[in-house]
A and B are shown apart, each in its own frame.
Chain A
């Protein structure tokens, strides 16, 4: 019986030892106490949308900061800690956001690229056409005639000068006639008038392949009264730009 008692005691001892050893280990490595929090550093972000604009266009800057007491953007000035604002940079610009706080200073940048405006829509032809219609004068004819009369020479010389200065212009000379006489003969006469003007232009140095001719005879009168004044209006070589 004595032996049994001993065995129980030994077992208990071992158990206690194990338990004691286990407890002792925990007490050896306790977590360190948290350090006192340092002052928080500010954060900052800045974006520009869109980041590429045409000259004269505007873009929107959007920013966010935290832990900052003093927020400013170069070229814009002091701003709210978070917000957005539209800007219209004249040239490509890098915007810098500075956020200052007790924890320090943080900066963020956003680049806005300003592109040159696209070339203006090609309008040289429109202006050339305007010049053409302002400058080039129709050539008027005597009745039943297709030769260029003396008093039309100044108009003709002006036309030649302008057309030689603008050698890229293509145009049509329309031959027109007054209402008298036959449809068929007037179409032939109108053809002669248009060719007469064309020949004079080409002789004056205008490129022949830029001049087309067409006869309208009496099919498209400028004036429809049966008077000599009106008939004279209709007997002409009429210049039409770009055909």
Chain B
């Protein structure tokens, strides 16, 4: 168990030194990774559906654990021969000794019976022969590939929670984004791994900047209505738009406070785009900024809820600033170029921004994702792979960042670990942008 305390400790120790160190420490990445072996689950019944469901389950479980960023996944080519479906099948020395040299083993079985599916899963500390079981779980659900994927997500999240310093996994989280694949920009949703992509709105207009509420029940977004750009509110519980006041002018970029009681957004109702805050019911509108030039893209400090980062063009090219939620104590964070789209990390320590550091006529105009330590204003560049990279947003566990990139030729949604590694494309159809990750 000592190992698990070691994983927790660095979260609270902000060590100075190399920039990469403070990212990894602050995000829970970069500590010694647990070597985890995950042999494919076995069939526990004779049903014909087992093969398809096992394939979906095994792929999803492996990807979830691999994506988590805290495991050193032991390559399947090193695994001992023979299937491991139950505790009786585990030969400890075959797993704990080289070549697998695994610290942990996740294994189990899946069986379809009638319309139901039963999954049993275990997590073993294979170096602790006398008391190896860290986790034992049984799940029952419908015998569908969707249910098999969901069950894999649940089991992966259990493992990540146990081995990842007590931070809940993100395998069951959702991503909301803008897609134009229907011909209009609508709000879409998908699982965190890119599966199950589907449209949420069908407004036939231009809808942008989806932001899901902390409790996951509503999406605030900006849409071009007959009276101009307004903040609209979609209830995921009711599966329809619910009423929200129209403020007049151009209303953009809603952002939920972490307690879900307030929404900050940009409105030009006074003639100049300024940051406003309003109760999530729509009442109590209050203007926060007042300085000529566009003010847009607010983001609350997700830990304290008392500060707002946003983008202001008050000095010319847009820069990222922070202020108290009442508009006092304005601090400029970026010193040059074109900086937009701030998003606050769940632990309140970092911002990610999209930044063209050398912007202007004749400049190459690479737009990359940067992570910035708010206290020290130190920054580290996370993307270097060309294209325009924008709209970064944090995963609930603070270990991942989702963003949009044009590097593949069209605008698509990508994820990466918060240290910039493991970049993966999640969307491929049409043009997709402005990803927003659920809060849990």
Contacts and interface: CB of A to CB of B under 8 A. Distances in A.
B98 interface: no
Interface string B379-396: 000000000101100000
A185 interface: yes
A151 interface: no
Contacts of A185: 294, 296-297, 311, 313, 318, 340
A195 B206 contact: no
B109 interface: no
The SS class assigned to the B binding surface is strand
Interface string B79-102: 000000000000000000000000
A188 B311 CA distance: 10
Contacts of B249: 191
B193 interface: no
A173 to B, nearest CB: 12
B268 A184 contact: no
Contacts of B268: 188, 191-192, 195
Contact of A144 (B185, B297, B317): B317
B273 interface: yes
A187 B229 contact: yes
Contacts of A192: 268, 272-273, 293-294
Contact of A187 (B252, B272, B390): B252
Interface string A167-195: 00000000000001111110111011001
Contacts of A146: 294
A214 interface: yes
Contacts of B316: 144
Interface residues of A, dominant DSSP? helix
Contacts of A182: 297, 311, 318, 340-341, 354, 390-391
Contacts of B208: 183-184, 187
A143 interface: yes
A219 interface: yes
Nearest to B268: A191
B296 A187 contact: yes
Contacts of A225: none
Interface centre among A185, A189, A199, A215 (most CB of B within 10 A): A185
Interface string B263-280: 000101001110000000
* B contact residues, range: 35 or more
A228 interface: yes
A192 B267 CA distance: 11
Nearest to B292: A192
Contact of A191 (B209, B294, B340): B294
B183 interface: no
Contact of A143 (B206, B294, B311, B361): B361
In this complex, the member of A192, A195, A219 whose beta carbon has the largest number of chain B beta carbons within 10 angstroms is A192
Contact of B311 (A184, A191, A214, A215): A184
Interface in A96-155: 143-144, 146
B418 to A, nearest CB: 21
B295 interface: yes
A183 B434 contact: yes
Interface in B282-300: 293-297
Interface centre among B250, B295, B296, B434 (most CB of A within 10 A): B250
Nearest to A183: B208
A188 B340 contact: no
Contacts of B229: 187, 191, 214-215
A192 B250 CA distance: 10
B289 to A, nearest CB: 12
A121 B271 CA distance: 40
A181 B317 CA distance: 10
A215 B249 CA distance: 9
Nearest to A194: B250
A219 B224 CA distance: 11
A215 B229 CA distance: 8
B272 A184 contact: no
A181 B340 contact: yes
B132 interface: no
Contact of B273 (A181, A183, A191, A199): A191
A187 B252 CA distance: 8
Nearest to A199: B271
Contact of B252 (A144, A180, A188, A199): A188
5 contacts: A184-B266, A184-B341, A187-B252, A189-B313, A215-B229
The 10 closest A-B pairs by CB, nearest first: A188-B294, A182-B340, A188-B273, A191-B250, A188-B296, A184-B253, A191-B268, A184-B297, A215-B250, A185-B340
